Structures are given as structure tokens and as C-alpha cells.
Structure 1
Amino acid sequence: MSKRVPRVGIGGPVGSGKTMLIEQMVPVLYSRGYRAGIISNDVVSKEDADRMRKNLAMEKGIVPEDLVVGLATGGCPHTAVREDPSMNISAVEEMEARHPELDLIIIESGGDNITTTFSPALADYFIYIVDVSGGDRYPRKRGLGIESCDLLVINKTDLAPHVGADLSIMERDAKTVRKDRPFVFVNCRAGQGVSKVADHIVRDVLFELPPKAVKKAR
């Protein structure tokens, strides 16, 4: 029987930066000696998985190509990660069986609204990402994703001056809504703040695993 690899779910609205967060975060984890597989959900296409395979496997060579899997769920993005995650669980278990050396499996949800959550049968840790271009009201809109995730990520901080968003308001509201749960500001395109996201994963998910010697993917 294959070992159960820790699983991190990443959800958020379309265009919030889920894929780019993964593309920036996996190299940071890799540099610390942790190896990750990726499962990307979308309703119809596998575009995000193809992009990550190109960027992380073909160009950077830090993730083998077969460790970036795209799933076309064909329905509501919520269903595949929450109500009936069987498709994702099967993909995760297959990845675990083929790659027992993995330290982490990242599961990207299809993009939708602020109600996304992950079934505890699928993900051990849940990151929800929103972006500043949606306005500084985002945190106080609440929603299951914003309120219940283990880590809230607020992306595209560089756009704040251009869309009239006040980061101090977002910080205040995130503290109010989430109480003691953590949140971080990031600019994924520039890689700013991504190491803080990796810090949370290492501390909260991978804390029992010693980092391995870093090796290039073949």
C-alpha cells in the first residue's frame, strides 16, 4: 500500500492567480528540498496543467512531466473538490503509488467564486487566493473560502493604486473576518511574498518531514 502524501488544495476565483502561485511556490519548496506533484482541475480544458508542465517541467526541470496532471471535470468546479472528489482522489492515489518519493501533492481547483472549499477527504490544508483587482471589499465579503481556509492569500498587490484598492482596509478586514487564521499579501508575478506562503506550508503541513537533497527532475 502506498503512503499517503500530504495534500494542499488551492482555490480561488478565475484569474486570481492560482496557477501562478503554484508556479512560483513549487520552485521555492524545491529549493528547500521538498518535492511536489500537481493536479489541476478545470471544467473543460487542461490549459493550466499544460502551462505548468511547460514552465516547471520543460523549462525549469524541477518537476517531472508526469507529475503535472490535468483533470477536465466537466461540471461545477465545487463538485470535483468538495461534494464528489472521487476523480481527484483517484488521481492523487495514482500519483502516490507511482511516486512514493513525493513530499506534497498540490490540488488546484477550477476557478469560481468565494464559496469554494475542499473536502477533508481530499485536502489536508486549504489555501484560498483572491486578488486586489476585485476591490478592497473582498475580505469583508466573507464566503466559505475566505472564512474557512487555512491560509488566505491576497494577490496582485501591485495593482492596488491602479484600481483604487486600499491594502490597509483589506488587512483590517481580513483580521476581522479571519480572526486568528493567517493571511498574506503577495505579488505572484514578481514573486513577492511567495516565500511566506511556502513558510506556512512547511510549518503547518511538512513539519514532520526532513527536507531531502535537491535533485534535478529527469
Structure 2
Amino acid sequence: MPDHTHSHTRALRLGVAGPVGTGKSSLIATICAALADDLQIAVITNDIYTDEDARFLRSAGVLAPERIRAVETGACPHTAIRDDVTENLLAAEDLEADFAPLDLVLIESGGDNLTATFSPALVDAQLFVLDVAGGGDVARKGGPGIGRADLLVVNKTDLAPHVGVDVAQMVADASDAREGRPVLGVSRTDAESIEALRDWVLGVLTSYRSGAHEPVDPGPMAPHFHADEEHPDGGYVHTHEH
């Protein structure tokens, strides 16, 4: 039988992944603002060499600045959320020790490719973020994050008329790719979509606290290419299958 005793002793850890520019930081700010009156929240951001995302969130004023911590991965962003999660685990534990009791720790991946996923050793649930500006067909391309994250967010739906994307079709394509797993179109200008996102987070938290929620591994990232000027081929193919 799974051991769920931890569900009553620590915060829910929710990972947020997705490609560069899809609005992960602003989505986290939206979640924080929507739940600030109900939950005690902290945030961890991941960047390769900077704390830019953490500074953005602090400037947004949705949480006390000291509740937002930056992890500088020093390597591919997905390495610190998939391969060696130690720094993020330590940051989460430090936040929980400093601000106990926390209800929710949001962990933002550095902007990465379509295959980035969190290790279930780090997060209890994860959402994957796409945006309409990336093209209406991107959801059909699939990948472990798109296919099997706990929630897929199609972000910035208010931009759809400006980029020629049919949001309903994009959401439908995403639902097909996810075999019925939840998909949510979100815009920070659409109160109804923010309420739906808030309800989803609260639902996962309720399930987690009851011991009913089990972390699901979306599966290893697909092999992908890393540019490297010093490599004779200009880069190398990297895999996360262990």
C-alpha cells in the first residue's frame, strides 16, 4: 500500500513546466493572487544563471518577497527538475521550515522544450503550459508533458484573435492528445478561466490532503538536441532515460 502519511505533514508541491515564453511566471502570479486569501503559498523558480523569474514574481506583489526563492541550475533547466532534484527539494524544505505551515509550494521550471517533465520525487502534481502564440497545432505534437501532466494549460487565450488561432479547436486537439486528461484555456483577463484554475488547484490539494492523490510520472523526456559550440557536431543529443 502507498504511504500517504506525508500528505498531512507537508505542503502540496505543484510543478509548472513549459517552453520559453508561454507565461509560466505570470500564470504562477495569477494562481498566487487567486488563492492568497485561502492558502499559505511559497514559490521556487529555476533559471540557468539568473534569478529573473523570481524577481518578476516579487515585483508582481502577489506574495511576500521572502516567500519566493530562486534556484540557479547552472545547466539545462530540466536537469534540476528531472535528473538531480536536490537543490529544489532543499529549497522547498527550507521554505516550509521558514514559513510553516505552508499549504502550497509552486515550483517553476526554467523555460524548456516540449518534453520537459518534473520528477515525481520532486512534485506531487504538475501542470504543463502552452500558449496560443506558439501556434494552434503545438498541442497535437504531443510529448510526455503535453500528454500526461496532471493539467495542460492553454495560456493567453485573449491573444488568439491576434495570432489566428481557434482556441476551441486547440483545446479539443489537446484533449485528444491527452486522452481525456484535463485541459484548461486560461487568460488573466478572463475571470471565469482563473476561477476554473483556482478550483483545479484546490481540488488537487483536497485530494492530496486526504491521501487519495498519487504523483504520476509523465514519463522520461524524449531525446533532444543541445547546442554546444565546443562540440565537433555543434551540439549533442541528450536523453533522460535511466
Task: Name the counterpart of 2:188.
Answer: 188
1:28 equivalent to 2:34? Answer yes
Shift of 1:175: 1.7
For residues 171 and 190 of structure 2, what CA distance do their matches in structure 1 show? 20
How far 1:22 moved relative to its partner?
A: 0.9
Percentage identity across aligned positions? Answer: 41
Q: Decide which of 14, 18, 22 is 1:16's aligned counterpart.
A: 22
Residue 190 of structure 1: CA displacement?
A: 5.5
Whether the 8 Å CA contact 1:103–1:206 is kept in 2: the answer is: no
Match of 2:42 in 1: 37
Deviation readout 1:83-128 (Å, 9 max, x if unpaired): 1111100111111112222101000000011101111111001011
CA distance in 2, matches of 1:204, 1:11: 17
- Alpha-carbon distance in 2 for matches of 1:94, 1:20: 24
Aligned to 2:128: 128
- DSSP-derived class of the 2:121 partner: coil
Deviation at 1:171, TM superposition (A): 2.1
CA distance in 2, matches of 1:206, 1:95: 21
Aligned residues: 204
Other structure's SS at 2:127 match: strand
Q: What CA distance in whole angstroms lies between the structure 2 residues aligned with 1:74 and 1:208? A: 32
Could you say which residue in structure 1 is the equivalent of 2:57?
A: 52
User: How well do the aligned residues superpose, as a CA RMSD in angstroms?
Assistant: 2.0
Tell me which amino acid in the other structure corresponds to 1:8: L
The answer as to whether partners of 1:25 and 1:195 remain within 8 angstroms in 2 is no
SS in structure 2 at match of 1:88: helix
Q: When the two structures are superposed, what TM-score results if normalisation uses the length of structure 1?
A: 0.87
| Structure 1 alignment gaps of length 5 or more | 210-218
Q: What stretches of structure 2 of length at least 5 have no aligned partner? A: 1-7, 210-242
Aligned-partner residue type, residue 29 of structure 1: L
User: Equivalents in 1 of 2:189, 2:72: separation in Å?
Assistant: 26
Whether the 8 Å contact between 1:20 and 1:189 is mirrored in structure 2 is no
Alpha carbons 2:158, 2:189 under 8 Å: kept: no
Q: Which has the higher contact order (CA 8 A, sep 6+)?
A: 1
Contact 1:151 1:183 in 2 (8 A): yes
Residue 78 of structure 2 aligns with which residue?
78
Distance 1:86 1:192 in 2: 37
Question: Larger Cα Rg: Structure 1 or Structure 2?
Answer: 2
Aligned-pair CA distance for 1:189: 5.4
For 1:12-49, what per-residue CA distance to the aligned partner results, in whole angstroms no more than 9, with x for missing partners? 11110100011111111113x11110001111110110
2:174 corresponding residue in structure 1: 174
Q: Distance in 1 between matches of 2:208 and 2:114?
A: 31
In structure 1, distance between residues paired with 2:106 and 2:22:
17
- Cα deviation 1:135-157 (Å, max 9, x = unaligned): 11011110111011100000111
Provide the C-alpha distance between the structure 1 equivalents of 2:208 and 2:90, rounded to a whole number of angstroms.
Answer: 25
Instruction: Flag the 1:189–1:48 CA change in 2: closer, same or farther, 3 A.
Output: farther
CA distance in structure 1 between the aligned counterparts of 2:176 and 2:190, rounded to whole angstroms? 28
* Structure 2 SS opposite 1:101: coil
1:42–1:72 Cα contact (<8 Å) kept: yes
What amino acid is aligned across from residue 130 of structure 2 in structure 1? V
**TM score, norm. by length of structure 2:** 0.79
